[in-house]
Structure 1
């Protein structure tokens, strides 16, 4: 039984019209360094990851609003951090207006943060997220699959391996089925078998594929008792509903009632330094809450949380989202990197490149707990006479939002909207 399983992937294809010969030196897999001092350094010496957190949050909410326009009233789930990391890594090789558009699209303002600090921030982020001592199971990494005829510039190769701990894997793109299978096998391994055959085919002329993945499995600090889970109605709209498995807890949670936006905010912590924010808009106020999604809004919610006993109902759900990031980025003003005007001259020698494809898939699975041992039956007894005042009953039985926050890095790992918990995965 899984408590919460989050997986996501950003895959970026680069293609070229002219081909150039030369072999890629084999690169060893980059091991992300850790030391006992990591956590102390995070507070003192290197705060670049804190500086990029604000921009990453801005990007997360901008991207969310673009996805909402595209998909309408459907489930949404993605990892803004996966997308930011992949394009920040690509920006190492971008120049001139292509680079400016990427910075603007990713919400980086170079009057507030230096370009080198951006990459150092992601480097630190990768170190902290991959810390093996964390209680949550979390891994994030990057890979470049490179045509063996493409000669990468040494500086680009050094930067992606040293700053982004990327693996560089020599591939034969002249045999597209073989290269596709190799990339899909890598993805399947890194996502523990959860994302299979993501890449259907390679565009002709593809010479490099950049992959970023995140795998996260977290356990609630206090699991839901599966004996309390029951069938219930989830209201899709005023007229329609679906049956769901509704989990229940009657405990103290950090909650906030935002009267201005007419919504409840409930924080459910994981073991380890991460938590899930569940936002329940009052009936008819979802758009109002979505429009107000900004880093300032979420920061205000986090600071306003107060521990309070509530009756909580939350559905079990398993949903996924697949997105054409190229199309979404173009609507956000990031166009040049995908066009023949692209300047990625910092990537490879004498080879004009452009991004031809960018796809992202994420999935989430939320249930009562996550360990076999937690199946041991526990019966809670509560007093017959209710304490006064009555605890609020917060029932997530209508569309709601979900944001996964990593407290070590102040980063938004995932976010989404659950419109129909019973929807079949795409």
Structure 2
């Protein structure tokens, strides 16, 4: 019987906040500079390894979303595709033969177009860029290996996991299961700034290693919402039911796109720093049509079609989370061998046959108008009168919508989801 390698994919708290700023014009200039691809590549010293893996990561994100959608029913969805793909890419360092092929296929990487080394170098660069302490957006991602005292890892696997994925090896005693669970939960709680607490409640008795990937994000809106304008309004769950939500309001210029073919609005709300939230509002009755069309080409087309336009924007405050059994979702995507007794993870440890017994993932997001409720701020903004034609569209996110966080530095989608009910109690 194979020992169990307990793969824990843990995403972890996403907090979207904003701070009031006094000089938006300067920020516009900064944003233009930050978003310039020429400057961007020079600043990175022409190191574009992360660009090579971006298409595969995007493909994986949308494939995984469609699997989640099948089992989520009419519930909120929120997860980090980047967290999941990073954790399994790190595991692939120790996979061999068909187990390795299945993993790469599941992660949407084509080894005829890209070498294994390039995949790992791509994730290495993503981790470097995300964890840059000088970024205005607080975005950190990391990995840890909790290793049983009795398990002897192959030095190459340990070296590669440390070199490419900056993984932290932590010695654990899985014979003392309650203590090991406590140690792992404490690590997760610390790395996610208290957002994810007590995630693990049990371990398979045969567990000899737990792999953890965490990701934490805290962004400040470039154009904050005035919390004095937030008020209770109806959010339409379906044709017959609604819930009361705190609805935020803005009347400003945003990058927007109207996709007539898919019948939806796309609104980009930038964060300070080189990241943005992409909110997609399907017309009534067209959510499935838009979801079915979620492909990297679709999102790329939206991003390229965005145009600056003044709009009246209504967006609800919400705090939602999602918990997923990644093992069952991967098996539906054709990644089966790594979880079975046929698993070939012979590149991980000496003299021990391993398989993945469990893979779990939890993600959380908070979207609000500002970061602290302690101070009340009044902002009175004067704008010149103008005879605008046509009038600004009123885009009301008062029915189910999609959300993606796009990190423009790494060309990645750290988070994505569907908000069906902003007032739903978290799991």
TM-score by length of 1: 0.90
Q: Any gaps of 5 or more consecutive residues in structure 1? A: none
The CA deviation at 1:46 is 2.5
The CA deviation at 1:112 is 1.0
State the secondary structure of the residue aligned to 1:219: strand
The CA deviation at 1:379 is 2.0
The CA deviation at 1:22 is 60
Counterparts of 1:221 and 1:264, CA distance in 2: 20
The CA deviation at 1:21 is 58
> Structure 1: which 4+ aligned runs deviate by more than 6 Å?
1-8, 11-39, 383-386
Distance 1:30 1:171, change over 3 A: farther
Counterparts of 2:250 and 2:14, CA distance in 1: 48
Q: Please list the CA deviations of residues 191-245 of structure 1 after superposition, one character each: whole Å capped at 9, or x if unmatched.
A: 1111100001100100000000000000000100011111100000000000000
The CA deviation at 1:382 is 5.5
The CA deviation at 1:408 is 0.3
Distance 1:372 1:272, change over 3 A: farther
The CA deviation at 1:376 is 2.5
Q: Which residue of 2 aligns with 1:158?
A: 159
Q: Which residue of 2 aligns with 1:362?
A: 363
Q: Does the 8 A contact of 2:10 with 2:360 survive in 1?
A: yes
State the secondary structure of the residue aligned to 1:12: coil
Counterparts of 1:405 and 1:207, CA distance in 2: 36
Distance 1:27 1:393, change over 3 A: closer
State the secondary structure of the residue aligned to 2:27: coil
Distance 1:39 1:147, change over 3 A: farther
Distance 1:13 1:110, change over 3 A: farther
The CA deviation at 1:47 is 1.7
The CA deviation at 1:7 is 18
The CA deviation at 1:51 is 0.6
The CA deviation at 1:26 is 46
Q: Does the 8 A contact of 2:248 with 2:369 survive in 1?
A: yes
More deviation in 158-167 or 13-22? 13-22
Q: Please list the CA deviations of residues 150-186 of structure 1 after superposition, one character each: whole Å capped at 9, or x if unmatched.
A: 0000000000001100000000000000000000000
Counterparts of 2:32 and 2:89, CA distance in 1: 20
Q: Does the 8 A contact of 1:7 with 1:214 survive in 2?
A: no
Q: Does the 8 A contact of 2:11 with 2:83 survive in 1?
A: no
State the secondary structure of the residue aligned to 2:11: strand
The CA deviation at 1:370 is 2.2
Counterparts of 2:214 and 2:228, CA distance in 1: 35
Counterparts of 2:313 and 2:22, CA distance in 1: 61
Distance 1:142 1:276, change over 3 A: same
The CA deviation at 1:10 is 2.6
Q: Does the 8 A contact of 2:120 with 2:164 survive in 1?
A: yes
Q: Which residue of 1 aligns with 2:183?
A: 182
How many residue pairs were aligned? 426
Q: Please list the CA deviations of residues 23-68 of structure 1 after superposition, one character each: whole Å capped at 9, or x if unmatched.
A: 9999999999999999656755422200101000000000000000
Distance 1:318 1:411, change over 3 A: same
Q: Does the 8 A contact of 1:16 with 1:353 survive in 2?
A: no
State the secondary structure of the residue aligned to 1:17: strand
Q: Does the 8 A contact of 1:21 with 1:150 survive in 2?
A: no
Q: Does the 8 A contact of 1:16 with 1:205 survive in 2?
A: no
More deviation in 261-270 or 379-388? 379-388
State the secondary structure of the residue aligned to 1:84: helix
Q: Does the 8 A contact of 2:5 with 2:357 survive in 1?
A: no
The CA deviation at 1:111 is 1.0
Q: Which residue of 1 aligns with 2:349?
A: 348
Distance 1:56 1:271, change over 3 A: same
Q: Does the 8 A contact of 2:17 with 2:219 survive in 1?
A: no
Distance 1:401 1:126, change over 3 A: same
Q: Does the 8 A contact of 1:67 with 1:328 survive in 2?
A: yes
Distance 1:258 1:35, change over 3 A: closer
Q: Aligned Cα RMSD in Å? A: 10.9
Distance 1:36 1:21, change over 3 A: closer
Q: Does the 8 A contact of 2:262 with 2:290 survive in 1?
A: yes
More deviation in 7-16 or 363-372? 7-16
Q: Does the 8 A contact of 2:267 with 2:280 survive in 1?
A: yes
Distance 1:106 1:374, change over 3 A: farther
Counterparts of 1:81 and 1:154, CA distance in 2: 26
Counterparts of 1:355 and 1:23, CA distance in 2: 51
Distance 1:112 1:23, change over 3 A: farther
Q: Please list the CA deviations of residues 365-413 of structure 1 after superposition, one character each: whole Å capped at 9, or x if unmatched.
A: 0000225798421123457886332100000000000010000011001
Distance 1:6 1:78, change over 3 A: farther
The CA deviation at 1:8 is 11
Q: Which residue of 2 aligns with 1:33?
A: 34
